[in-house]
Chain A
Amino acid sequence: EAQVTQNPRYLITVTGKKLTVTCSQNMNHEYMSWYRQDPGLGLRQIYYSMNVEVTDKGDVPEGYKVSRKEKRNFPLILESPSPNQTSLYFCASSLYALGGGAGQPQHFGDGTRLSIL
């Protein structure tokens, strides 16, 4: 089944304790991205990747890191989490990069609810 898989689905942790949220897709998609969803703010992009070893900042990259060493995986890293990073996080992927007239739908994972105390 074609899907985007995120882990963990839920995590409660404390300020300053490094964490990684994994994201994997099995559709051979080139483009992957991370969003955070907060009430009244919609989905805001954190980072995106157009292909292996190519990553770029989205709207709200502060406090996050990403890497794209393999096509299928795009982990989100919080080196020193803070309470303002408590949010619902979604990973998404699409076949190709979104710009240059190639706009296409993104497929979303089931989300990771992160609480940082």
Chain B
Amino acid sequence: GENVEQHPSTLSVQEGDSAVIKCTYSDSASNYFPWYKQELGKRPQLIIDIRSNVGEKKDQRIAVTLNKTAKHFSLHITETQPEDSAVYFCAATPYNNNDMRFGAGTRLTVKP
């Protein structure tokens, strides 16, 4: 089955800097890759997603890139702000299955 690995597990940046979180997946048939943000004590919420027929997608300060050949995808946050501090999860959905596999999460801290 699909296995998703996420790095780093913790990331600390200065306000205004960029942050990058990377995920790898094992199932080459996976074709949908969402990213969720979970603030302390809250539910995970979708922030951006990408499908396998697209290499990059951007939404204001957030972007996701996908490399199908290498089977990895990354979340890029530019001009970070303290409110970006949260745990971020990547996920992958295999074509031949009906589940969604999550990475272990990255705790991002943005220092003012």
Chain A complexes with chain B: yes
Interface residues of A (CB under 8 A from B): 31, 33, 35, 40-45, 48, 50, 56, 58-59, 90, 97-101, 103-106, 108-111
Cβ-defined partner of A40 (8 Å) among B43, B49, B97, B104: B104
**Do B43 and A48 touch across chains, with their CB atoms under 8 A apart?**
no
A40-B9 contact in complex given A103-B31, A103-B93, A110-B42, C-beta closer than 8 Å: yes
A13 to B51, CA, bound (A): 42
Whether B42 lies near A50 (C-beta < 8 A) is no
Contact residue among A40, A48, A100, A110 (Cβ-Cβ distance under 8 Å from B95)? A100
A99-B93, A103-B93 given as contacts; is B31 within 8 A of A31 (CB)? Answer: no
Within 8 A of A (CB), among B45-101: 45-46, 49, 51, 89, 91, 93-101
Distance of A48 Cα from B100 Cα, bound (Å): 10
Lowest 5 A-B CB distances belong to which pairs? Answer: A103-B32, A103-B93, A108-B43, A43-B102, A42-B104
Q: 27 A–B contact pairs at CB < 8 A?
A: A33-B99, A33-B100, A40-B104, A42-B102, A43-B44, A43-B89, A45-B99, A45-B101, A48-B98, A50-B98, A56-B98, A58-B99, A59-B101, A98-B99, A99-B93, A99-B94, A99-B98, A100-B95, A101-B95, A103-B31, A103-B34, A103-B93, A105-B34, A105-B49, A106-B100, A110-B42, A110-B43
Q: Which residues of A contact B51 (CB under 8 A)?
A: 103
What residue of chain A has the Cβ atom nearest to residue B91's Cβ? A43
| Contacts known (A98-B98, A99-B94); A41 close to B104, Cβ less than 8 A | yes
Query: In the bound complex, what is the Cα–Cα distance between A99 and B2 (angstroms)?
Result: 12
Report the Cα distance A97→B102, complex, angstroms. 17
Task: State how many angstroms separate the Cβ of A39 from the closest Cβ of chain B.
Answer: 9
- Nearest chain B residue, comparing its CB with the CB of A40: B104
For B9, list chain A residues within 8 Å (CB): 40
Tell me the bound Cα distance from A99 to B97 in angstroms.
5
The docked-state distance in angstroms from the alpha carbon of A100 to that of B42 is 30
Instruction: Provide the bound-state CA to CA distance between A29 and B94, in Å.
Output: 20
| Chain B residue at minimum C-beta to C-beta distance from A108 | B43
Distance (whole angstroms) from the CB of B88 to the closest CB of chain A:
11
CB distance from A90 to the nearest CB of B (A): 7
